[in-house]
Amino acid sequence: MTTRRDILIGGLALLGAGLPRPAGALGRFPAGDAEIIVVSDGRMNLPIASMFPTLGDAERDALLAQNHMPTDGYRPDCNVTFLRSGDRLAVFDVGAGPNFLPTTGDLAANMAEAGIDPADVTDVIFTHAHPDHLWGLLDDFDELAFPNADYRMAEAEWDFWRAEDTLSKMPENRKSFVVGAQNRLAVLEERIMLFKPGTEVFPQVEAVDTAGHTPGHVSCMVHDGSGGATLIVGDAITNAVSFVRPDLETGSDQDQAMGAATRVRLLDRLAGDKARLIGFHLPHPGFGIAERDGSAYRFVAG
């Protein structure tokens, strides 16, 4: 039977024909008996002016150049992580969907290429509710993109975006984030399962409190059962500068001081545990390790 979703995916594939794709649409590696699969949702294109609010333009550009990042725009990849374990298939964040940016929303097409059927996803776990992580909840037809899944979000994140005064308190340039989140979270009202950091959100997956980027932001530590672990970071660490200057306040963090403190603490844990990490916005597929480098860190991809 051909469904509307098949027609949509077919259409997306057709539209994408001949266009340049993000470097590598897919990364896979084992985590014990489970498998981690990273699928691209595309790439954002953002101004760099507000990237590091405490730096002047020249200092910012020098720091970006030292870390092999462009100075004419910030173009981070968007990496969506799947975890296949036994008869369950989890996805951590759902991408941006069709209504955020023209350069994002590739997840459905890239999942089809990777042989992942959205109907097989049993668990959706959110790191936070920003547009590039949440708006893919609904497809072009305003239907749930993962119709058979249980949905989980940290209680603090849910409460923040659902609160009546969040819209009025948000700066003008981010009010659309609030409206977009509230519209989509309303769809989940009857089925969302809220959790607290420190609890298990999927077999062998622990939610780690990484608040700061948003009030209820979490990362998810996947334990492989033999002492190894992989942290699905979300947006607590976003680019090469996050490793070199974890203490530097970042414009995309809602609470910039807390975001920096969280990054410092998180990198210390990652380097100490020798845990692998997957960054939603690190160069696709976004996985590697954080090595200590003097008082800071260095990201080693792979």
> 85 vs 214, which CB is nearer to Zn ion?
214
- Are 245 and 69 in contact by the 8 Å Cβ rule? The answer is no
Q: Which stretch binds Zn ion (CB under 5 A): 8-16, 60-68, 123-131, 162-170?
A: 123-131
> 123 vs 235, which CB is nearer to Zn ion?
235
- Distance between CA atoms of 34 and 126, rounded to whole angstroms? 20
CB of 246 to Zn ion, least distance (A): 17
- 77 contributes a contact to Zn ion by CB under 5 A: no
φ/ψ of 127, rounded to 5, equals -80, -40
CB of 128 to Zn ion, least distance (A): 6
Q: Where are the beta strands (DSSP E) in 107-215?
A: 123-125, 150-154, 192-195, 200-202, 205-209
CB of 127 to Zn ion, least distance (A): 8
**Chain CA centroid to CA 289, Å:** 17
- Are 291 and 244 in contact by the 8 Å Cβ rule? The answer is no
- 5 contributes a contact to Zn ion by CB under 5 A: no
> 209 vs 235, which CB is nearer to Zn ion?
235
Q: How many residues does the chain have?
A: 302
Chain position whose Cβ is nearest to Zn ion:
130
- 235 contributes a contact to Zn ion by CB under 5 A: yes
- Distance between CA atoms of 189 and 235, rounded to whole angstroms? 24
- 130 contributes a contact to Zn ion by CB under 5 A: yes
- Are 267 and 279 in contact by the 8 Å Cβ rule? The answer is no
> 5 vs 263, which CB is nearer to Zn ion?
263
Q: How many residues bind Zn ion (CB under 5 A)?
A: 2
Q: Which stretch binds Zn ion (CB under 5 A): 65-73, 124-132, 223-231, 242-250?
A: 124-132
Which tokens go with 152? 């989980």
Using CB under 5 A as the criterion, which residues of the chain lie in contact with Zn ion when the complex forms? 130, 235
